[in-house]
Amino acid sequence: MIKYKLICTDCEVTFDSWFSTSKEYEKLKKKKFLNCYICNSLNVEKALMSPSVFMPKNYSKTDSQIQKYKRTNEIILKYQKFIKKNFNYVGENFVYEARSIHYKNKKSPKGIYGTATKEDLKELKEEGIETELIPWVKDNTN
């Protein structure tokens, strides 16, 4: 026996259904014997397996999420400090500066960071200039 998670694409309900083999599922589907137990629709599909998450009973969702968020923020802030110390901020001139360092072999003892649009970054990438997107949070400490 195989258990499949099925989803009705009409009313979006999901339910488990047992089949003797995977072929049986195909057969029933072809013969239109598979229907939604709520709305009777025949648009029933095998639901894609999604990663499962296990939550302990005493798990408090909000607390843990806040903790996780705080931790992530701390990491980002540390990262930001490092970047601020070791990179030159060029703001909206980022694309221009990146190009001039790349093409003119401009000696730059430091890396640069600044703002650019996704399209800009794509263009840079096509020119062989690798950039890195970094998460950024508002730093209230200075």
Q: CB-wise, 36 or 112, nearer to Zn ion?
A: 36
Residue 11 CB, shortest distance to Zn ion, in Å, is 3
What's the CA gap between 87 and 103, in Å, rounded? 19
Q: CB-wise, 28 or 76, nearer to Zn ion?
A: 28
Which listed residue (2, 11, 134, 137) binds Zn ion by CB under 5 A? Answer: 11
Burial of 41 (0-12, 13-18, 19+ CB in 10 A): middle
Q: Please report, as residue ranges, which positions from 33 to 72 form the binding site for Zn ion (by CB under 5 A).
A: 36, 38-39, 41
Tell me how crowded residue 60 is: count the other CB atoms within 10 A of its CB.
11
Q: CB-wise, 9 or 60, nearer to Zn ion?
A: 9
